[in-house]
Amino acid sequence: MLRDVPFGWYATSMFALVGLTLVETRGVGAGGPKATHLAEAVTLALYYIALTGFCRSFLSITRWRRLLDGLTLPVLGAIVALIFVEKVTGWRGYGYVLDEVLQAALLVLLFVRGVAARDQGFAPARFYLIAFVFAAAGILINDLNLHGVIFPHQNLTRAFDAGIALEALLFALALADRNRALSALIRLDGLTGIANRRSFDGALARAWDRSRRSHSALGVLMIDVDHFKRYNDTHGHQAGDEILRRVAEGVEAAVLRPDDVAARYGGEEFAIVLPLAEGEASRLVGERVRVNVRALAIPYPEAPTGIITVSVGVASTRPAESGVSPGKLLESADAALYQAKREGRDKVVLAPLERSTPDPAIR
């Protein structure tokens, strides 16, 4: 978590807000008014710096980034400089006007950054934008009250506190949403968008433990695109990548239950984990994969079928009874896959699994 830059900026902004509240309510003790004003300047400046740092690091934008940075950073620098001038020297110059203009400019620029991130597909930006709406509302109500525009005989400084508190809460939700999205990306294959090898290994381990405890069956499918290397060499890697993306769609469409996991195993190979699936049920899923890919009718003139096809190897076992290890189950599915290829490809073969010596890990 400490390596998470947005979280670091967020934590710093919260630390600065707590420090500013303590300084404003209790002062700094023996240092007197000057020390209090200096502490106020440091904590307030730190808050604005941390807020800007959070927004810049949290939001993923490609377009407009350089322009927005070029506008935001000078405004931030002016705000920090003005804070120290006012707090340390007591200079007011144009009163609160310059303060409010610079604050409004910074908030607008940071809000525009959120809009840009949202438009470019960064989903967590929605919490970010709602947070800014609450913060801006609190600041606006507070400023209008201070200038006697609304409720001149009441003190509405709590509106500012409420706006900032809601902003902090929504920023926390935005961080959680971002981390969830990043976790999902880590589990997905970058090319095809389905689960990757790491996800498959985890799903197999979980399904294996579950099947062993419940004495239930577990099926595994290994799937390979027929004549893929020749297609890649003939039509190029970009065309090959497009084939893998489309085949992945057919593979994923074949799994219908929430606990079934379809993944890209590596290269042109895909794999499926099927908890609670006996051999024939697993074979039927393999057949569904084969039919789905054929139905895509992806042209492959050099292939005997004229279209892209897949071969599927299937293996199923009951871990608590067979003594077969996870590795042996995968080997059996892989052997069935190559048997399908030897028999002419575009086939589904179910492996015969024999009882073996129990693996020490499952005794």
Does residue 357 surpass a pLDDT of 50? no
pLDDT tens for each residue of 287-320: 999 999 999 999 999 889 999 999 999 999 999 8
pLDDT of residue 363: 26
Contact 53, 59 (CB under 8 A): no
Q: Provide the 10 A C-beta neighbour count for residue 183.
A: 9
Among all residues, which ones are annotated catalytic?
268
Question: At 298, is the secondary structure helix, strand, or coil?
Answer: coil
Strand ranges for the chain from DSSP E: 218-225, 261-266, 269-275, 310-317, 348-350
Alpha-carbon Rg for the chain in angstroms: 30
102 compared with 336, residue with greater pLDDT: 336
> Could you give the dihedral angle defined by the CA atoms of residues 224, 230, 235 and 238, in that order, rounded to the nearest 10 degrees?
40
pLDDT tens for each residue of 189-214: 889 989 999 899 999 999 999 999 99
On average, the pLDDT of the chain sits at: 84
Residue 50 one-letter amino acid:
A
Average confidence (pLDDT) over 327-339: 94
pTM above 0.85, yes or no: no
pLDDT of residue 355: 38
Average confidence (pLDDT) over 249-260: 94
Question: At 214, is the secondary structure helix, strand, or coil?
Answer: helix
Least confident of 51-60, 136-145, 274-283, 311-320: 136-145
- The pLDDT > 90 percentage for the chain reads 45
Sort strands 310-317 and 348-350 into parallel, antiparallel or unpaired: parallel
> Could you give the dihedral angle defined by the CA atoms of residues 78, 84, 85 and 88, in that order, rounded to the nearest 10 degrees?
180
330 compared with 101, residue with greater pLDDT: 330
pLDDT of residue 151: 66
Average confidence (pLDDT) over 139-155: 66
Question: 333: which residues sit within 8 A by CB, 6+ positions away?
Answer: 220, 221, 222, 271, 313, 314, 315, 351
- The number of angstroms, rounded, from the C-alpha of 130 to the middle of its chain's C-alpha atoms is 20
63 pLDDT tier (thresholds 50, 70, 90): confident
